[in-house]
Amino acid sequence: MRVSASTKVYGIFGHPVEHSLSPVMHNSAFKALRLDCVYLAFDIQMRDLETAARAIKSLGIAGVNITIPHKESMTFFLDKMSPEATLTGAINTVKNENGKLTGYNTDVGGFLRAIKEDLGLNPKGLTVAVLGAGGASRAVVSALCMNEVSRVFVINRTFEKAKKLASEFKKSFKDVSIEAVSPEDSLETENVLKISDLLVNATSAGMEGIEQIEIPLEHLPMQSMVYDLVYKPRETTLLKRAKELGHKVSGGLSMLLYQGAESFEIWTGETAPVEVMKRVIE
Ligand code: ATR
């Protein structure tokens, strides 16, 4: 990669970011298409987010990805948001066009493509249990609701957050049944699992160093599938247990790939070299 005075700069804002796979993924894509672009990781503390957002304009950074913990806060520093970003209330991609910042949420499309490619699933008519009520969960719930899911149960440790998420989405999607569930209510959790076609882990639980969520997987019907957004480790304890019980499962590396591919396309206008990107992250 030759960096010159005209090289376009892209990057990721998050905290922590040193283990992010996005820099290798995007730099390999730029290289494959011979684009004069570079992608860097910027470790941004919460208190510095506004200054960093202004720096996108002042330094002429062409685009950034936004990750934990800034996906929701960053929405306050944009000029425009795409419809799915507005619906989700969180973004993961910013494009700088002549000093105007537009926010996108490619986690929405990334999740949809991941469940389609890995599990052969289309949300239409499904009943889905989603663990978590943070930014990642919001993207998953948006993806499901925008694609005619039938019922969504949001299960979250902090019940208030699940209730808030459910009530917000109910206003936008009158035809979808969206309910909040407390994992402490074991009977309700069991009943939800018994009727779910898909279980999605959108919490950070199960990530390296974070304990796995306790969920009574034995109540999931045999044909139900499990998608875990966590990709480090590749196979979480949740996925391992679900696989042992005979369920079709997939981990979050595919969502990372497809959200990245969509961001790349938004920034460059080129078709993302998905195979190249996949090889480097694997
Ligand atoms: P993200 O953008 O990845 O969604 P987030 O907005 O910080 O990050 O949300 C993290 C989610 O994971 C939350 O739903 C959080 O539950 P709380 O709302 O109760 O905090 C959930 N989470 C994180 N660690 C967890 C754990 N060890 N057990 C259960 N849930 C956990």
Q: Which CATH superfamily is domain 8-105+257-281 in?
A: Leucine Dehydrogenase, chain A, domain 1 (3.40.50.10860)
Ligand 1, pocket-test mutation among 93, 204, 228, 229, most atoms within 8 A of CB: 204
- Predicted confidence band at 18 (pLDDT cuts at 50, 70, 90)? very high
In short, whether 133's Cβ falls inside 6 Å of ligand 1 is: yes
For ligand 1, the distance from its centroid to the CA atom of residue 136, given in whole angstroms, is 9
pLDDT at 1 over 90: no
Sign of CA dihedral 69, 70, 73, 75: negative
Q: List pLDDT tens digits, range 181-237.
A: 999 999 999 999 999 999 999 999 999 899 988 899 999 999 999 999 999 999 999
pLDDT at 278 over 90: yes
| Cα distance between residue 142 and residue 136, in whole Å | 10
DSSP symbol at 228? E
Q: List pLDDT tens digits, range 246-266.
A: 999 999 999 999 999 999 999
In short, whether 157's Cβ falls inside 6 Å of ligand 1 is: yes
> Is 243 considered catalytic here?
no
pTM for the structure as a whole? 0.96
Give 3-state DSSP helix, strand, coil % of the chain, rounded to 5: 40, 20, 40
- The domains of the chain are located at 8-105+257-281, 108-251
Q: What class is the 108-251 domain?
A: alpha beta
Q: List pLDDT tens digits, range 63-92.
A: 999 999 999 999 999 999 999 999 999 999
For ligand 1, the distance from its centroid to the CA atom of residue 165, given in whole angstroms, is 13
Q: Is 244 exposed, middle or buried (0-12, 13-18, 19+ CB in 10 A)?
A: exposed
Region 134-160: what's the mean pLDDT?
97
Q: Which atom of ligand 1 is nearest to the CA of 68?
A: 2
Task: Examine domains 8-105+257-281 and 108-251 and report if their fold is the same.
Answer: yes
- Predicted confidence band at 2 (pLDDT cuts at 50, 70, 90)? confident
pLDDT of residue 250: 98
Catalytic residue among 8, 31, 57, 71: 71
| Cα distance between residue 195 and residue 192, in whole Å | 6
| Cα distance between residue 65 and residue 39, in whole Å | 10
pLDDT of residue 28: 98
Q: Which two tokens stand for residue 282?
A: 């694997």
Report the 3 state secondary structure along 20-89. CCHHHHHHHHHHHCCCCEEEEEEECCHHHHHHHHHHHHHCCCCEEEECCCCCCHHHHHCCEECHHHHHHC
pLDDT of residue 54: 98
**Amino acid found at 71:** K
For ligand 1, the distance from its centroid to the CA atom of residue 135, given in whole angstroms, is 9
Mean model confidence pLDDT for the chain: 97
| Cα distance between residue 163 and residue 197, in whole Å | 22
pLDDT of residue 133: 95
In short, whether 132's Cβ falls inside 6 Å of ligand 1 is: yes
